[in-house]
């Protein structure tokens, strides 16, 4: 073929529209799973990065249900060294709480906080977080949606 007879093939970049998005449901079991590894997988699911239709400015993510949040684990000395801070809004009103205290009070908030920190900071973050459902025990109320279980144990995916 000569240069005159060659045709240029132009491929168009696909951009998803909100009407193209179909959302699936996934269940993550947090039993004996490291908090960071669990939060990474959940954040990837909520953003939809593993989908072939992923588009950065469209919310293509799926629903994530986390069960057994009270049985997750952390490595090293994070139970005593990791600190969560909040402020009351009054002068001198900074409050702190260790990870162990947070897990004793409400283990679900530790998972939500970790996932929130791994999501991109933009206008889509709040909508993605609304699709995250975290439960401390093994029971959840989303069986009607037919969620697919995801195991994060080594060698089981």
Reported as a single tens digit per residue, the pLDDT across 69-106 is 999 999 999 999 999 999 999 999 999 999 999 999 99
pLDDT in the model for residue 37: 95
pTM: 0.87
Locus of tokens 């990065």: 49
Point out the residues of the chain with pLDDT beneath 50.
none
pLDDT in the model for residue 157: 52
Extents of the domains making up the chain: 22-73+109-150
Distance, CA of 137 to CA of 134 (rounded, Å): 9
Q: Which CATH number fits domain 22-73+109-150: 3.20.20.70, 3.40.50.720, 3.40.50.9100, 3.90.1180.10?
A: 3.90.1180.10
pLDDT in the model for residue 22: 94
Please report, for residues 59, 61, 83, 92, 132, the alpha-carbon distance to residue 89 in angstroms, rounded to integers and kept in the order given.
33, 34, 19, 8, 28
């Amino acid at each position: 073929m000569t240069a005159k007879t060659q045709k240029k093939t132009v491929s168009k970049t696909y951009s998803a529209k909100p009407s193209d998005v179909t959302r699936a449901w996934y269940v993550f079991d947090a039993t004996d799973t490291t908090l960071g590894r669990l939060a990474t997988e959940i954040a990837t699911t909520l953003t939809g990065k593993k989908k072939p239709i992923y588009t950065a400015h469209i919310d293509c993510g799926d629903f994530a249900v986390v069960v057994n949040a009270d049985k997750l684990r952390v490595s090293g000395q994070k139970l005593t060294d990791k600190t969560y801070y909040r402020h009351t809004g009054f002068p001198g009103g900074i409050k702190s709480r260790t990870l162990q205290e947070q897990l004793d009070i409400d283990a679900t908030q530790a998972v939500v906080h970790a996932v929130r920190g791994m999501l991109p900071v933009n206008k889509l973050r709040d909508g993605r977080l609304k699709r995250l459902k975290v439960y401390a025990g093994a029971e959840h109320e989303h069986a009607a949606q037919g969620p697919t279980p995801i195991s994060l144990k080594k060698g089981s995916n």
